[in-house]
Amino acid sequence: MKRSWLEWLHKRDPRATRMLAVVAVIAVAVAMVMVGCGQSGQEEVTGRFRADLRAYYGAPPVIPHPVEALGRGNCRACHEQGLIYQGQVAVARPHPYVGECRQCHVEQLPVEPKVKNSFVGLAEPERLPRAYPGAPPLIPHETRMRANCTACHGPRGHPELRTPHPRHWTECMQCHVRPEPGVEPPVVNNFATLWEATR
Amino acid sequence: MAVTRREFLGSTLAATAAATASTSLLVSCAQQQEDLKRIDLSGVTWKKGVCRFCGTGCGVLVGVKDNRVVAVQGDPENPVNRGLLCVKGYHAPLILYGADRLTKPLIRRNGKLEPASWDEALDLIATRWKEIIEKHGPDAVAFYGSGQWTIEEGYAALKLMKACIGTNNIEANARLCMASAVMGFMTTFGSDEPMGCYDDFEKADVFVCWGNNSAEMHPVLFSRMTMARETRQGVRLVDIAPRRTRTSEVADLFVQIRPHTDLALANGIAYLLVHRGYIDREFIEKHVVFKRGKTDIGYGTEDGFKFKDQPERITFDEYVAFLDDYKPQRVAELCGVKVARIEELAQIYGDPATKVVSLWCMGVNQHVRGTWMNNLIYNLHLLTGKICKPGSNPLSLTGQPSACGTVREVGTLCNRLPADMLVTNPEHRKKAAEIWGIPEEKIPAKVGYHTVEMFRALDRGEIKSIWIQVTNPAQTLPNASRYIEAMKRPDTFIIVSDVYPTETTEVADVVLPSALWVEKTGLYGNTERRTQHWEKMVDPPGEAKPDVWQIVEVARRMGYGHMFDFGGKPLEEGLFEEYRKFTLGTGKDLAPYEVYKRVRGLRWPVVNGKETPYRYVEGYDPYVPKGAGISFYKNKKDGGRAVIWARPYEPPAEEPDEEYPFWLTTGRVLEHWHTGTMTRRVPQLYRAVPEAYCELHPDDARELQIATGDLVRVVSRRGSLQLRAKVGGRGTPQRGMVFIPFFDEEKLVNLLTLDAFCPISKEPDYKKCAVRVEKVG
């Protein structure tokens, strides 16, 4: 089965098979790294934890640790470069410097409001499908206020978000792009269809 | 994960402060996730709107799905905030969904508020008002609105009172926050609102904040200042204030003055400008006149207080002689700062190569000499010609989202008509009467009651009924006990339109449930004269209705339906288009309603579809004659010139003494909006600052043996309040001063404050009264 579609593809475009080979190697490498990182239980907890710090997708996360006890204006000590300590991640600032950190990020004291709130917020976006296995993943989230990709995806980001290829992290957007939400291309492209059909 | 919700709830505030083990806190936060339901991205529509909170006027994109707001984004296309918001703005969607939203009209029967139908409630209001007016005259009813009113709501209320009922008894809470700014503008430039705009943030060299903690109160503008400093060399931020705040922490120069001595400091800077040759003589000769007014003008603490200024022209030399009282040594002693600091400030204002933007808000406006203080800041810019130049302008910041657009431009105040007009001016009344199609005599020439006097008149029995919309005076009036008692009395008829139960709905006779923010269509006008529109995006809960609908329904029932008939046009559009007629040709021109639907706001005057970033400046402002360069054309009585005022230092209404040794200053915190009605129902904001506290200087705390978390009693001549002490938090008052925020309805700091006000603007001084602090137990 496999041989037959490869042969077919090779006949159509010999370059495609070479590219596929390269892609396959990368894909295997990615898979290995992901397995390496994936102590899956912890991943799940931290992933959910990160989302829970926001009122909705796009809201600034609240601060999950005491602040005033740490003294004033010291956010940068941990969040300038990013820091991992005893399994906890203090991500670097993903957005350019804007005024006071605490104009958007606020501490939470363990008290509950007297009045309940029934707001239902927007969920974090799901991962987007790749063009083919091994194709660079698309960026599923807004890039505004997230210009510094390495804050989350660099070596000091959350384990489940770290890039498998940290040496190539200077120009992330040359391979990973953000599809404009809700926009469909005017011309149908059959690549994905072919891919699905031959699988 | 071992912490259960109950244990979590049970832990106390004090325990948190002590908690440093971050692991347990991290777990605690994850624990909250059971609250967090999520809705997926598909089918979410995004519409442009305006933030509900401060006067900055940030653009938002509101995400809506299934008739619910599910998210906001900072609008990247809006030039005000370019995609950024503050923590309040980001959490704005949650303000709609507090569990105790008012969803049905309520009428007080046998002392209890009971559900009623809209017809019952509206008929009751109309009948009572007609009875009162018949028996006691139109001045026995009053309207008390808000800088959070949309333009259309404010205009409808103004029209109901001034054109239909025929009374000038309409005020708004902007009297408590912006009146001094208004009178500052009117007395110096003859027209309200700034010449400059936010474009100055990217052009200025030095920002001077006068008593303004913009890091917390105007966070997005503050970030524009700090971004300017990050991206351009030589940009500096100066903070002049009695309390060390987050703004001071970030500032390059913090000048800590004694409370109320800003008057002396501004005159001290002017003295140095004049004597060091820092003034722009050519600008002064062409564009400025000098005046002085009455002195020793009182504080308005007594009922029926009246004041009328008597301005007289003086010469430049007389002005210079006046400044002799403000030699650096004397000013330094009065303010409690070094002479070098005053010289440094004079250098900043004086150096012709330095572009300066001065910013101020409540510290200057809530001041028994608030109008004077506004004048004195303008003096510094007028003396040096640092005005009407991109990058160099005084910029009076507003607190509320439409204090400018609604209260100041529409003129929902006891002495005003739309577009800078006054009820005392027969020509202005004539113009208004023509637009409204009513006889001139219908609009009374007599100025109505200003806010504090309005509630005093309620207490005296002169006013029988007040309709209150979008504000919470039982929590915000200074020296509130007297006015709360007056509202509670059975012989006063109080109507309150609001979205949640408040201290004021507690004392109301009728409560009307209102639509909030994007549950209705509206326009807001911000600090930089930008008028911004949003469409209704979701339905209000239950039977809640827009305030504008409520006003018009009562008007109809009182027989004024024809005054609100706009030939089938939507009510909001009809009201706005009529209001717009007042602005055309005045230098305050607004664009047609349709235009605002499309754009991210426009800064007035809008002439031939073009907005005006800089007023009074040729090439920007179409009203400036060719070749004039700069013209203060609205100040006709002074020949198109601005006024430099000789305004002295005069002491505050109350100063600390042996019995009450501390200054009390009140204010806001970043996380909470005004009385917390909305923000205290947002879990993230509630948890950030759950309750009001008393901030002390560490040395005072040590002397009184008070530590953070201790219960203290703060006592003034008017009341007392128990709350927890805070030392070394986000702000540090100077020695001999305490700070208490006013958002907490369980700790009403306005039971302590003094109802003294600026005699010219009638704006109360919430920043200065005397208290003592006692440790409890």
pLDDT digits (tens, 9 = 90+) for B195-246: 999 999 999 999 999 999 999 999 999 999 999 999 999 999 999 999 999 9
Question: What pLDDT score was predicted for residue A190?
Answer: 80
CA distance A101 to B84: 12
Asked, for residue A63, whether it belongs to a domain, the answer is yes
Residue A8 confidence class, pLDDT cut points 50, 70, 90: low
What integer is the mean pLDDT of B566-585?
A: 97
Q: Which residues of A touch B695 (CB under 8 A)?
A: none
Predicted confidence (pLDDT) per residue in B269-280, tens digit? 999 999 999 999
CB-CB neighbors (< 8 A) of B728 in chain A:
68
Q: What are the catalytic residues of B?
A: 88, 177-178, 362, 399-400
Residue B732: strand pairing partners? B244
Is A10's pLDDT higher than 60? Answer: no
For residue range B596-628, what is the model confidence (pLDDT) as tens digits? 999 999 999 999 999 999 999 999 999 999 999
Average pLDDT over residues A135-155: 90
pLDDT of residue A29: 46
Chain A positions in Cβ-Cβ contact with residue B86 (cut-off 8 Å): 103-104
CA B346 – CA B279 distance, rounded (Å): 10
Rounded CA-CA distance B732/B728 in Å is: 6
Is residue A19 situated within a structural domain? no
Over residues B42-75, the pLDDT tens digits come to 889 999 999 999 999 999 999 999 999 999 999 9
Residues A175-198 have a mean pLDDT of 80
Closest to B762 measured CA to CA, from B81, B181, B211, B325: B181
Nearest to A88 among B13, B26, B84 (CB): B26
Partners of residue B222 in chain A, C-beta under 8 Å: 99-100, 103
| Neighbouring-strand partners of residue A42 | none
Q: What span, in angstroms and rounded, lies between the C-alpha atoms of B385 and B394?
A: 11
How large is the average pLDDT for residues A50-76?
A: 83
CA distance A128 to chain B (A): 13
CB contact under 8 A, A66 and B222: no
Q: Do B22 and A88 touch (CB under 8 A)?
A: yes
> How many CB atoms are located within 10 Å of the residue A66 CB?
18
Residue A29: inside a domain: no
Q: Which two tokens stand for residue B543?
A: 């039977």
| Average pLDDT estimate for B528-549 | 98
End-to-end C-alpha distance for chain A, whole angstroms: 9
How many Å from the N-terminal Cα to the C-terminal Cα in chain B? 37
Cβ neighbours of residue B457 closer than 8 Å, sequence gap 6 or more = B142, B449, B463
Give A75 or B263, the one with higher predicted confidence. Answer: B263
| Closest C-alpha to B210, from B57, B86, B351, B348 | B348
CB contact under 8 A, B87 and A125: no
Residue A16 binned pLDDT confidence (cut-offs 50, 70, 90): low
Who wins on pLDDT, B158 or B15? Answer: B158
| B729 and chain A in contact, CB less than 8 A | yes
Q: Which residue has the higher pLDDT, B728 or B693?
A: B693
Chain A and chain B share a number of CB contacts under 8 A equal to: 201
Instruction: Look at A181 and B174; give whichever has higher pLDDT.
Output: B174
What does the block give as tokens for B395?
């910029």
Q: What pLDDT is recorded for position A23?
A: 52
> Please, which pLDDT band fits residue A1 given cuts at 50, 70 and 90?
very low
- Residue type at A125? P
Rounded mean pLDDT, B773-777: 94
**Per-residue confidence band for A167, with pLDDT thresholds at 50, 70 and 90:** confident
Give tens-digit pLDDT for B105-120: 999 999 999 999 999 9
Answer whether A62 sits within 8 Å of B84, measured CB to CB. Answer: no
Q: In the block, which residue shows the tokens 């008929």?
A: B123
Q: Please answer yes or no on whether B71 and A122 come within 8 Å at the CB atom.
A: yes
Query: Closest Cα of chain B to A164: distance in Å?
Result: 27
Number of domains in chain A: 1
What is the model's pLDDT at position A32?
41
B43: amino acid identity, one letter: G
Show which of residues 626-685 on chain B sit within 8 Å of chain A, judged by CB atoms: 670-671, 680-685
Closest approach of chain A CAs to the CA of B507, in angstroms?
Answer: 20
Say whether residue B370 is in contact with chain A using an 8 A CB cutoff.
no
Per-residue pLDDT, averaged over B495-504, amounts to: 98
Residue A70 confidence (pLDDT): 62
Contact check, Cβ <8 Å, A58/B223: no
ipTM computed for the complex: 0.87
A197 and chain B in contact, CB less than 8 A:
no
Report the pLDDT value the prediction gives residue A71, as an integer from 0 to 100: 59
Per-position DSSP letters for B522-535, written without gaps between them: EEEE-TTSEEEEE-
Min distance A143 CA to chain B CA atoms (Å): 12
Say yes or no for a CB contact (<8 Å) between B683 and A112: yes
> Per residue in B247-260, pLDDT tens?
999 999 999 999 99
Out of A6-15, B134-143, B487-496, least confident range: A6-15
Three-class secondary structure of residue B462 per DSSP? coil
Residue A183, pLDDT above cutoff 60: yes
Inter-chain residue contact A103 with B30, CB threshold 8 Å: no
Q: Which two tokens stand for residue B530?
A: 């930008």
Mean pLDDT of chain B: 94
Task: Report how far residue B588's alpha carbon sits from residue B416's, in angstroms, rounded to the nearest whole number.
Answer: 15
What are the strands of the beta sheet with B106-109, ordered from one edge?
B112-115, B106-109, B510-513, B493-498, B465-469, B141-145, B170-172
When scoring B94, B518, B673 by the number of chain A Cβ atoms within 10 A, the one with the most, hence best to mutate, is B94
Interface test with A, best of B3, B24, B70 (most A CBs within 10 A): B70
Task: Fill in the DSSP letter of residue B205.
Answer: S
Pick the more confident residue, B5 or B470: B470
Is A32 domain-assigned? no
- What secondary structure does DSSP assign to B497-566, as a single string? EESS--HHHHT-SEEEEB--GGGS-EEEE-TTSEEEEE---SPPSTT-B-HHHHHHHHHHHTT-GGGG--
Question: What's the domain range around A128?
Answer: 43-181+189-198
Report the gap between the CA of B24 and the closest CA in chain A (Å). Answer: 9
How many other C-beta atoms are found inside a 10 Å radius of the C-beta of residue B154? 37
Tell whether A18 is covered by a domain. Answer: no
Would you state the pLDDT for residue A194? 63
Buried b (16+ CB within 10 A) or exposed e, B48-58: bbbbbbbbbbb
Q: Which two tokens stand for residue B648?
A: 């002295």
The stretches of A65-171 forming alpha helices (DSSP H) are: 75-79, 150-153
- Quote the pLDDT of residue B460: 97
Question: Residue B1: its pLDDT value, please?
Answer: 33
Please give the pLDDT value at position B28: 43
Positions of E strands within chain A: 83-85, 88-90, 121-122
What number is the average pLDDT over the span B529-544?
A: 98
pLDDT above 90: residue B334: yes
Token pair, residue A33, equals 């790294």
Residue A9 lies in a domain: no
- Is A119 an 8 Å CB contact of chain B? yes
> pLDDT by residue (tens digit) across A38-61?
334 444 445 557 778 999 999 999
B309 pLDDT more than 80: yes
For chain B, domains (ranges, CATH) are 1-36 (no CATH), 106-174+401-603 (3.40.50.740), 179-397 (3.40.228.10), 662-775 (2.40.40.20)
Q: Which residues in chain B have Cβ-Cβ distances shorter than 8 Å to A98?
A: 84, 223, 226-227
Q: Is the peptide bond before B605 cis (omega within 30 degrees of 0)?
A: yes
